[in-house]
Structure 1
Amino acid sequence: MRHIYSRRRTETLDYMQSMLGQLRTMAEAERCDLLAYLIEMAYVEASDIIRGERPARVQQRGDGRRDVA
């Protein structure tokens, strides 16, 4: 069961990354530099999560600081 969830999650992240790539291209074509940059950062974040180099969630602790989950 865990394998099915993991595969579905990876497929979803792959799809999101693909859409972000297309949105970045559109933003660049319209010369929306800041928007293209922010979309690029989301694209890189999705890539890192897919490769396991970054956690998918960041949780708030009781003292206001954030923990990576």
Structure 2
Amino acid sequence: MAPDQRSKIEKVRYLHGLLREMKDIADSERMEFLSHLLEMAYVESGDILRADNQMKVVRT
């Protein structure tokens, strides 16, 4: 499936994984501020995924 055909949640799930990997790299290189920013984005993407899961539970 082409990236532009993926759903928003699939894209967020993909970014969530990438952000974790990038944060781990930043941590290993002791880039504290970059690591912090990546962690914030990681948490935000996790919040989006959790909200989506909660909406699915409410709908059923």
TM normalised by structure 2 equals: 0.72
Kindly report the root-mean-square deviation, in angstroms, between the aligned alpha carbons of the 2 structures. Answer: 1.8
Q: Which runs of 4+ in 1 moved over 6 A?
A: none
Partner of 1:65 in structure 2?
Answer: none
Partner of 1:59: none
The structure where helix makes up a greater share of residues is 2
Q: TM-score, normalised by structure 1?
A: 0.63
How far, CA to CA, are the matches of 1:9 and 1:39 in structure 2?
20
Distance in 2, Cα, partners of 1:9 & 1:46: 11
The answer for unaligned runs of 5 or more in structure 1 is 54-69
Q: Once the two structures are aligned, what percentage of the paired residues are identical?
A: 38
Residue aligning to 1:29: 28
Q: Once the two structures are superposed, what CA deviation does each residue of 1:29-54 show, in whole Å capped at 9, x if it has no partner?
A: 1100111011000000000011118x
Q: How many residues align?
A: 48
Q: Which has the higher contact order (CA 8 A, sep 6+)?
A: 2
Is structure 2 residue 11 aligned with structure 1 residue 9?
no
Query: By how many angstroms is 1:9 displaced?
Result: 1.4
Q: Between Structure 1 and Structure 2, which shows a larger proportion of strand residues?
A: 1
Aligned mates of 2:29, 2:8 — CA distance in 1: 31
Counterpart check, 1:51 vs 2:39: no
